[in-house]
Structure formats: structure tokens, C-alpha cells
Amino acid sequence: MDAEQGDEPLTRGDLTGAVQSYFDLMDGPAVSLVVETFTPDAVVVDDGNTYTGHAAIRAWLSGPANQFTTTSTWLFVRPADRGTEVGILIEGDFPGGRVELRYDFTHDRDGLIEALTISI
């Protein structure tokens, strides 16, 4: 998942708006506030499951999204059509202990996250 040749390397500090808030809140004590970075009808796809709307995303945040202790190494940040792509190496106490994940965010006109797909 390395940055493509010719891509200017970006870092977490290059994020703005709701995506920056998403990661800041996920790393802090107020994970329950992450749902506010999403539109009311947003869709999250993670580990083969789909979560639609604030109630389902809140359940994902309090369950599957936070069930393991992890550390992360940022691999890339780059703009995408109507969104942002982020690559992160995650290490922790989950099965396998190490995985490179790609976060594909789609933003709405107001800058909120209307879709997030997390994939390997």
C-alpha cells in the first residue's frame, strides 16, 4: 500500500475537516463523538459489515471499531474523487496482530463523511 511513484508524501497533519476530526476523536477518550463527523445517513463498510446511519455507526464505534488495543503507523494520505484515501499500518492484540488498512472517505458538500470503506 505504498504511495504511488510521483505522489507527494502527505501525513496525518495534511488532513482537514471531518476526516481529521474522525482520527482525532478515534484516538481520544470521546470516541462516541466520532458519529458527529458523519452525515445522518452515512454508510460505513468495515470487515464485511455495513453500518448505515448514526445509530448503526455508533454501535460499530462502541463495538467492532474499538474492541482491540492498537497502535498505528501512517503510510499515506491522498485526495480522492469527493474524498480522501488514507493508508495505515495497524498493530495490536487482534488476530494476526498486524494489518495494512485503507480508509476510503467520501465527503458530502458540507464536508461531513457520507461514506467510509475500510479495506485491506
pLDDT, one tens digit for every residue, the chain (120 residues): 444 444 555 566 668 789 999 998 988 878 889 999 999 999 999 999 999 999 999 999 988 888 888 999 999 999 888 899 999 999 999 999 999 999 999 999 888 999 999 999
- Say how far apart CA 33 and CA 108 lie, in whole Å: 19
Full-model pTM: 0.86
Q: How is residue 75 annotated by DSSP?
A: E
- Say how far apart CA 105 and CA 79 lie, in whole Å: 10
| Residue 46: all three cell numbers together | 468495515
